[in-house]
Homo-oligomer: A and B are copies of this chain.
């Protein structure tokens, strides 16, 4: 909606080439105000990652096409390919997890704790007012290595908790489940093996669809019997904590399934660590959480903000009146992915989390718009000004000296700017101080320094002529 999409007729005749001045579909520019907010959000996230001892890496924006092939299941159709211009076939990265796994296998790294903040690309249907873009940032934190069960997994959840707390976005909760529990559940409900993944995708829609509709999809589209679907329905309505894990370990059917038992035992252990990390007040063991991606093998999680975003003014359509922000972070364990890249299939167990920063930006931007505090887009401390004419040289010289001592300073690029326009520049951009040069001050060897807001003035002895 913010895109200015006017058309400039370059040719004379109608129907001739029309040049559209816009960014590509589903993408946006960040203006200075948005960048200031983005910097603030990144600082909070990066501080948290560093507090947890993470290193950082970077990978190219495109990968060999075959590196991405077979990693995303049905979502593969959303990958951006580059044109074949001779040479290799390339695709834009779809997430940061697959490039990370490729990096580990290529460099034979068996343990690392790293974060990676970068843009990823999906040819999805954009919904930009809800913060859904085709080019968007991911902030990933992952722990790779053979470690004792659930300790790194618990740290990932602790990190989500810390970041969402510090960003101060209101109440949130983190759903947790395990792929092995899901698979075990499908098995004991009577889902045929080959349908696990596709039924998993259907269960994943429970956050947007009612159970009745999910059930219909299972029966009518995926060919499950009513009975089987009903049995799944009972399980996926369950929510709890450590107690639920214990209860399900006693479940006559689930307790017979090896996969489910392994998942439930780990879930109990996870909650005991979360207790030590003091984060159990926000974490819910939820059997309906499925997550779409194919590569997860163990624990999975997703953080959801309770808050709804009011619809932006431009938007019309009643059903858009207030939308749930939904998931702002998600992740899980993927122990098989690195092995897919290793020529000998050597596995490196991994667990990680990805913060979905665009939705967070949307909320922060709306907060900033309604706040009385003005967002500064520069850090300039002082403007070097003059009240009289013909003092450009003196202004430039003083500004240069301020720069040389590390002071953030600006000067207007005019020979003889009016004092009023110099003061206006300070007020518009939030520069707190103005150094005003005049003939008399130069003679006396002083600089007049004025506080823009309070108009208080002090005279400082100038270094200029020393």
CA distance A137 to B35 in the complex (A): 18
Q: 0/1 per residue, A400-438, Cβ < 8 Å to B?
A: 100110111110011100000000000001000000000
Would B61 and A61 count as touching, CB distance under 8 A?
yes
- A106 CA to B6 CA, complexed, in Å: 8
Partner of A81, one of B9, B82, B380: B82
Is there contact, CB below 8 Å, between A403 and B4?
Answer: no
Whether A380 lies near B60 (C-beta < 8 A) is: no
- Residues from chain B with a CB closer than 8 A to the CB of A409 are 51-53
Tell me, rounded to whole Å, the shortest Cβ–Cβ distance linking A248 to chain B. Answer: 24
List residues of chain B with CB within 8 A of the CB of A82.
80-83, 92
Give the chain B neighbours of A27 by CB distance below 8 A: 60, 62
Shortest Cβ gap from A392 to chain B (Å): 8
Contact A32 B60 (CB under 8 A): no
| Interface residue? A162 (CB, 8 A) | yes
The interface centre, meaning the residue of A53, A63, A85, A152 with most chain B CB atoms within 10 A of its CB, is A53
Say yes or no: B85 contacts A52, CB within 8 Å.
Answer: no
Q: When chains A and B are docked, how far (Å) is the Cα of A88 from the Cα of B110?
A: 42
Chain B neighbourhood of A276, CB < 8 A: 393, 396-397, 400
Taking a contact as CB atoms under 8 Å apart, the answer to whether A410 and B53 are in contact is: yes
A148 part of interface (Cβ distance < 8 Å):
yes
A378 on the B face (CB < 8 A): yes
Listed stretches A16-24, A208-216, A325-333; interface member: A16-24
Q: Is A29 an interface residue (CB 8 A)?
A: yes
Beta-carbon contact of A51 and B87 below 8 Å: no
Assembled-state Cα–Cα distance A80/B9 (Å):
26
State the interface size on chain A (CB cutoff 8 A).
Answer: 96
User: Which of B63, B379, B415 is close to A148, meaning CB atoms less than 8 Å apart?
Assistant: B415
Contacts A28-B60, A162-B403 given: A106-B20 contact, CB under 8 Å? Answer: no
Query: Cα distance A108–B3 when bound, in Å?
Result: 12
Is A448 in contact with chain B by the CB < 8 A criterion?
A: no
| Across-interface contacts of A128 in B (CB, < 8 A) | none
In the complex, what distance in Å separates the CA atom of A24 from the CA atom of B91? 10
Contacts of A57 in B (CB 8 A): 29-32, 35
Residues of B within 8 A of A413 (CB): 143, 145, 147-148, 151-152, 155
Q: Are B52 and A403 in contact (CB under 8 A)?
A: yes
Known contacts A27-B60, A83-B83; A51/B151 CB under 8 A:
no
CB distance from A244 to the nearest CB of B (A): 22
In the complex, given contacts A8-B342, A22-B106, what are 18 additional A-B residue pairs having Cβ atoms less than 8 angstroms apart?
A23-B60, A28-B60, A30-B57, A32-B57, A50-B379, A51-B407, A52-B408, A52-B410, A53-B380, A53-B409, A53-B429, A61-B119, A148-B413, A148-B415, A151-B396, A152-B413, A276-B393, A276-B396
Query: What residues make up the interface of A, taking CB atoms closer than 8 Å to B?
Result: 3-4, 6-9, 19-25, 27-32, 35, 38, 50-64, 66, 80-85, 87-88, 90, 92, 102-103, 105-108, 112, 114, 119, 121, 123, 135, 143, 145, 147-148, 151-152, 154-155, 158, 162, 273, 276-278, 341-343, 377-380, 392-393, 396-397, 400, 403-404, 406-410, 413-415, 429
The 4 closest A-B pairs by CB, nearest first: A8-B343, A147-B413, A32-B55, A27-B60
CB<8 Å pairs between A and B, sample of 11: A3-B106, A8-B342, A21-B105, A23-B59, A23-B64, A24-B63, A38-B58, A52-B409, A54-B378, A55-B377, A81-B85
